[in-house]
Amino acid sequence: MCAFDFATAKQILFGTGRVKELPEIARLYGMRRCLVVTGRSPERVAGVVGLLREDGVEVSLFSVPGEPSIDVVRQGVRRTADERCDGVVAIGGGSALDTGKAIAALMRNEGDVLDYLEVIGKGQQISHPSAPWIAVPTTAGTGAEVTRNAVLFSPLQRVKVSLRSPWMLPIATIVDPELTMGLPREQTVSSGMDALTQLIEPYVSIRANAMTDGFCLQGLPLVARSLKRVYTDGQDKSARTEMALASLLGGLALTNAGLGVVHGFAGPLGGMFDAPHGAICAALLPYGIAANLKHLRREQKHSSNFDETIERYRTVARSLTGRGDAEPEDCVCFVKELAGEIQVRSLRSFGMGPEHADEVVEKAQRASSMKANPVKLLPDELKELYLTAL
């Protein structure tokens, strides 16, 4: 068994009604004046914000209108300085959580966000712990509540890149499935497929380990049996709870084992087009799996990890389908069928086309997520994947 590291939030609270403990957790860590980061509809989480105010915690609301960007993070950092905030509470989907995470990091580390960004920035190491921050997800998919990176959009380069450090993990994560009950169907689909992607990719990743394997294998059947249910009935409490748990498990896995080719494409595409991250992953997932399997089959004689990776895909297929005789390629069939049943949008519906292939492939090759993919896909293979996914 190989050696590994594992890091996560200092405290994780999971279950129906657990959000009521938010004020107590805030007090425990000395948070008396918080920047509360929300999504584009702060009214949706007004009840949660009210819990803080009722307990005497001063609140400064900061709404994130869309995907988190470099400038939005800068604005948030300035707000914390102007209003002398001592911590951050991020309540919302991945955009709100990643924005809150980045703001908390820059509250305690000097310089500009570009000093620390990967790929397009200086890539400096964050050297001091973030200001205390608490993650409260209201979607089930991103896993951002337990990850140590924030994915930020740079309009200038038209790409999404990460701010990354173990210091960025929250002091507490509160996953209350009730907060996902009002999630619109399209967000339920995109976030749910993101959760599925973030359980498959870490399991077949070259960085997979004994702990992340356990999280993935527990989470895969949850998505397989619950995503269609929440698509059909958004008020299905049992299915919402299972999807919230699957998202959490995927976040725990990805931040410690890495991702793969689907997320390698998702970053560049999310920067180039106005498309939700989860929707991009949903459209790409079956084709990413197929590309990896095709490469493995073709390079079998030259692949040192062929047997192990094929067996991992076989395990994924059996976890998803519930069939003991399922084979690796059944992963592709399962995901395609699921995507059709829950009406996953195509890449073309977001304006993506074959004319963008070369730029997308060039950017995807440099994406940090690509480094953990189980095989090294060649540019021609990446281009074929993208064109097929259209």
List all residues 6 or more positions away from 156 whose beta carbon is below 8 Å from its beta carbon.
Answer: none
pLDDT at 2: 75
* pLDDT tens by residue, 106-120: 999 999 999 999 888
Contact 163, 5 (CB under 8 A): no
d(CA 70, CA 102): 9
3-state secondary structure 33-64: EEEEEECCCHHHHHHHHHHHHHCCCEEEEEEC
| Other CB atoms within 10 A of residue 349 CB | 11
Q: Tell me the C-alpha distance between 145 and 10, whole Å.
A: 11
How many CB atoms within 10 Å of residue 323? 12
Question: What is the fold, at CATH topology level, of the domain defined by 185-389?
Answer: Dehydroquinate synthase-like, alpha domain (1.20.1090)
Order the strands of the 87-92 sheet from edge to edge: 12-14, 172-175, 133-137, 87-92, 33-38, 58-63
Determine the distance from the C-alpha atom of residue 187 to the mean position of all C-alpha atoms in its chain, rounded to a whole number.
13
**Domain parsing of the chain, residue ranges:** 12-180, 185-389
Q: Are 345 and 283 in contact (CB under 8 A)?
A: yes
Backbone torsion region of residue 17, taken as left when φ is above 0, otherwise alpha when ψ lies between -120 and 50, otherwise beta: left
- Tell me the C-alpha to C-alpha distance, in Å, between residue 233 and each of 183, 225, 238, 240: 11, 13, 11, 10
Cα four-point dihedral sign 243, 248, 252, 257? positive
- Express each pLDDT in 293-331 by its tens digit: 999 999 887 777 889 999 999 999 999 999 999 999 999
Rounded Cα gap, residues 141 and 244, in angstroms:
7
Rounded to the nearest 10 degrees, how much is the dihedral formed by the CA atoms of 227, 228, 229, 231?
A: 90
Question: d(Cα 39, Cα 42) in Å, to the nearest integer?
Answer: 6
Alpha helix (H) residue ranges in 299-356: 306-321, 330-341
Question: What number of other Cβ atoms are within 10 A of residue 126's Cβ?
Answer: 20
Helix (H) or strand (E) holding 283: helix 277-298
pTM value is 0.95
- Closest Cα partner for 284 from 301, 261, 302, 304? 261
pLDDT of residue 158: 83
Structure tokens at 106: 């820059």
Output the pLDDT for position 1: 61
CATH T-level topology, domain 12-180? Rossmann fold (3.40.50)
Q: What is the pLDDT along the chain (390 residues), one digit of tens a residue?
A: 678 889 999 999 999 999 999 999 999 999 999 999 999 888 989 999 999 999 999 999 999 988 899 999 999 999 999 999 999 999 999 999 999 999 999 999 999 999 999 888 899 999 999 999 999 999 999 999 999 999 999 888 888 889 999 999 999 999 999 999 989 999 999 999 999 999 999 999 999 999 999 999 999 999 999 999 999 999 999 999 999 999 999 999 999 999 999 999 999 999 999 999 999 999 999 999 999 999 999 988 777 788 999 999 999 999 999 999 999 999 999 999 999 999 999 999 999 999 999 999 999 999 989 999 999 999 999 999 999 999
| 336 vs 288: CA distance, rounded Å | 12
Q: What is the Cα 217 distance to its own chain's centre?
A: 18
Q: Is 206 exposed, middle or buried (0-12, 13-18, 19+ CB in 10 A)?
A: middle
Cα(186)–Cα(199) distance, integer angstroms? 20
Q: How many helices (H) and strands (E) does the chain have?
A: 13, 8
3-state secondary structure string, 87-151? EEEEEECHHHHHHHHHHHHHHCCCCCHHHCCCCCCCCCCCCCCCCCEEEEECCCCCCHHHCCEEE
Rg (the chain; Cα; Å): 20
SS3 state of residue 253: helix
